[in-house]
Amino acid sequence: MAEVAIEVGHTTLVAGNGRDVEGIVVTCTKCGHSVAVYGTSDEAVQQGTATLAEQCPRGEKNLYREA
């Protein structure tokens, strides 16, 4: 399992009810794949890294850390 740095950026997402919600975009620095997550807390970053691990387009099992 490789350790890979991520970049975290803030964004505005649209919720299911059409309202704007603060969120983050978590991007893998190795391949550039990114995911958007509702919220801006540490837990949101953890959710983003877990989602990156599940959705890795290369099928790798990486451990993601904020740079």
Q: Which candidate, 36, 41, 39, 45, places its Cα nearest to that of 5?
A: 45
pLDDT value of residue 59? 92
The whole model's pTM is what? 0.90
Closest CA to 59 of 37, 38, 28, 36: 28
- Please give the pLDDT value at position 62: 93
Using the predicted structure, report yes or no on whether residue 67 has a pLDDT greater than 90: no
pLDDT at 1 exceeding the cut of 90? no
Residue 43 in tokens: 């837990």
pLDDT in tens, 2-59: 999 999 999 999 999 999 999 999 999 999 999 999 999 999 999 999 999 999 999 9
